[in-house]
Amino acid sequence: MTLTPLRIAAVSALALAAALAMPASAADLNLTPAPAKAVRAEGTFKLSAATRIHVAKGDIEARGVANQFADLVRRSRGFRPAVVEGAPANGEAAIVLTREGPAGEAYKLDVSPKGVTIAAAQRAGLFYGAMSLWQLATPNEAKGPVAIPAATIEDAPRFAWRGLMVDSARHYQSIATLKATLDAMAAHKLNTFHWHLVDDQGWRLEIKKYPKLTQVGAWRTDPGAARVYPKYGGFYTQDQVRDLVAYAAARNITIVPEIETPGHALAPIVAYPELGSAPPDASKMGDWGVFPWLYNTDDATFAFLDDVLNEVMDLFPSTFIHVGGDEAIKDQWKASPKIQAKIKALGLKDEHELQSWFIQRVGKTLEKRGRRLIGWDEILEGGLAPNATVMSWRGVDGAIAAAKAGHDTVLSPHPTLYLDNRQSASPEEPTGRGKVVSLKDVHAFDPAPAQLTEDQRRHILGVQANVWTEHMQTDARMQAMAFPRAVALAERGWSPAAGADWADFARRLPAEMARLKVLGVTANTVPFEPQAAFTQGEGGKTRLALSTGLGIGEIRYTLDGKAPTAASTPYADALELPAGAAVKARAFLDGQALGRERSWIIAPSLLRTRLSAQLKLCTEKVPLTMIDDAPRAFEQRAMMVVDILNPCWIWEGADLTQGAVIRVRVSQIPFNFQVGADRDRIPLRAPATPGGELEVRAGCAGERLAAIPLGEASKNPGLSTITGRLPPRAGKVDLCLSFTAKSVDPFWTIERVTLTPANAFQ
Q: Is 60 helix (H, G, I), strand (E, B) or coil?
A: helix
* Alpha-carbon dihedral sign for residues 447, 188, 512, 137: positive
Sheet holding 609-611, edge to edge: 609-611, 747-757, 660-669, 720-726
| pLDDT confidence bin for 584, thresholds 50/70/90 | very high
- The pair phi, psi for residue 438, each rounded to 5°, is -80, 170
DSSP lists the bridge partners of residue 295 as 276
**Predicted local distance difference test score (pLDDT) of residue 306:** 98
Residue 5: pLDDT above 60?
no
Q: Is 759 helix (H, G, I), strand (E, B) or coil?
A: helix
Q: Is 215 helix (H, G, I), strand (E, B) or coil?
A: helix
**Predicted local distance difference test score (pLDDT) of residue 762:** 54
Q: Which residues are identified as catalytic?
A: 199, 264, 327
| pLDDT confidence bin for 432, thresholds 50/70/90 | very high
Greater model confidence, 649 or 714: 649
Residue 670: pLDDT above 60?
yes
| pLDDT confidence bin for 503, thresholds 50/70/90 | very high
Burial of residue 742, with CB atoms counted within 10 A of its CB: 0-12 exposed, 13-18 middle, 19 or more buried? exposed
Is residue 420 within 8 A of residue 469, CB to CB? The reply is yes
Is residue 166 within 8 A of residue 231, CB to CB? The reply is no
| Counts for the chain of helices (H) and strands (E), in that order | 19, 41
**Predicted local distance difference test score (pLDDT) of residue 633:** 64
The residue among 419, 395, 521 whose CA lies nearest residue 467 is 419
What are the tens digits of pLDDT across the range 279-327? 999 989 988 999 999 999 999 999 999 999 999 999 999 999 999 999 9
Within 13 Å of residue 332, how many CA atoms lie on the same side as its CB? 20
Give the mean model confidence (pLDDT) for residues 36-57. 97
What are the tens digits of pLDDT across the range 181-225? 999 999 999 999 999 999 999 999 999 999 999 999 999 976 555
What are the tens digits of pLDDT across the range 138-169? 999 999 999 999 999 999 999 999 999 999 99
Question: Residue 379: how many CB atoms within 10 A of its CB?
Answer: 31
Give dist(CA 484, CA 439) in Å, integer: 7
Strands 660-669 and 720-726: antiparallel
Distances (CA, A) of 493 to 420, 515, 595, 622: 20, 20, 26, 30
DSSP lists the bridge partners of residue 38 as 153
Give dist(CA 109, CA 105) in Å, integer: 13
Give dist(CA 693, CA 742) in Å, integer: 11
| pLDDT confidence bin for 230, thresholds 50/70/90 | low
Best-predicted range by mean pLDDT among 24-38, 203-217, 447-461, 707-721? Answer: 203-217
